[in-house]
Structure 1
Amino acid sequence: MIIINSFEEYKALEGRMMGVSSWHTIDQEQIDRFALATLDHQWIHTDQERAQKESPFKSTIAHGYLTLSLIPYLWKQIAEVRNVKMEINYGIENFKFEQAVPVNSEVQLQATVKSVKDLRGTVKVVVEAKLLIKDQIKPAYTGDVIFLYHFA
């Protein structure tokens, strides 16, 4: 894990791949709870029997937004940003879902710092987030996550 204490330390990481998180298994229970929380009960996510028969994946798959929602959890395994008064998830840009994530897949986040800017005391960081699927060449997605930090 990388520990970042200041704007200067973050700036020194610009252009670097920071690392990867541990593997996380997306099981059917997590998919079903996400469906309940988001009211998205499309059969390809929640109906295991139908998915096995009718889906090209032959199993249920994780919601794309479920995989995106894992970013904060997985990011905290890669970097710990200290000395902040406030951290804000500011935005996501240029995300492309490249491959479905079948149930019981193991995924991990790979993070690269693209840019670090000081906007009059607010530090804006753009991180390329790539969700890797174990034993797959193509990632589940790639895109930019934008964080704002107010260092103490």
Structure 2
Amino acid sequence: MKEAEALLAHLKPQLGREIHVGPWLKIAQERIDLFAEVTGDRQWIHTDPLRAAKESPYGGTIAHGFLTLSLLPTLTESNHPDFFQKNYPGMRMRVNYGTNRVRFPAPVLSGSQIRARTVLLAAEAVGDAVQIIYAITVEIEGGSKPACVAEFVARVYP
């Protein structure tokens, strides 16, 4: 398909390069509490600031790892209205295909700020789609370890 070939040509010079650094996002306790409510994961280390201050090795509540993971579209700004045409010219639809690897090396304390750095790892034609693999590292402002390291897989269709 011409559209897929054109997209692969567009992506090829970016392979192995950092293609995006997102803005900082503050992880407030309210966001953590809402995520706990939606997922049913109300473990005290996430939702009880008083107990977490006394008993947690982190000195306070922390975000769920899956909350951090769920924020990848926001952190990478891939849900921004201009993102699609800029990054996938000639394509009409993108589908979240999944992740290859996900790790949570460091906790995100309530009140911390995080942001994502994205590297384009691979792009190939798969049927009538283009499959793209990104390495995404979510860093914590002032932290020495990342909050999340993930390989995200998307498929884009003409």
The CA deviation at 1:12 is 2.4
Q: Following the alignment from structure 1 to structure 2, what is the Cα–Cα distance between the partners of residues 7 and 80?
A: 17
Report how far residue 100 of structure 1 moved: 0.5
Could you say which residue in structure 1 is the equivalent of 2:48? 47
Unaligned 5+ runs, structure 2? 1-5
**Matches of 1:76 and 1:84 in 2, distance apart?**
18
2:110 match: 103
Does 1:135 pair with 2:136? no
Shift of 1:93: 1.6
Q: Which stretch of structure 1 is more off in the superposition, 112-121 or 26-35?
A: 112-121
Pick from 117, 120, 136 the counterpart of residue 113 of structure 1: 120
- Which one of 96, 100, 111 corresponds to residue 93 of structure 1? 100
**Cα deviation per residue 1:129-151 (whole Å; 9 max; x = unaligned)?**
10000001210121200000013
Q: Does 1:18 align with 2:19?
A: yes
The CA distance in 1 between the partners of 2:63 and 2:20, in whole Å, is 24
Which of 79, 84, 101 is the equivalent residue of 1:81? 84
How far apart are the structure 2 equivalents of 1:84 and 1:65? 29
- The structure where strand makes up a greater share of residues is 1
Task: Kindly indicate whether the alpha-carbon contact (under 8 Å) linking 2:20 and 2:76 is maintained by their aligned counterparts in 1.
Answer: no
**Residue ranges of structure 1 left out of the alignment (5+ in a row):** none
User: How far off its partner does 1:52 sit?
Assistant: 0.3
- Between the aligned partners of 1:113 and 1:30, the Cα distance in structure 2 is 29
TM-score by length of 2: 0.87
Q: TM-score, structure 1 length as denominator?
A: 0.91
Residue aligning to 2:65: 64
RMSD over aligned Cα atoms: 1.7
Count of paired positions: 147
Task: Name the structure where helix makes up a greater proportion of residues.
Answer: 2
Range with greater deviation from structure 2 (95-104 or 12-21): 12-21
Cα drift, residue 19 of structure 1 = 2.2
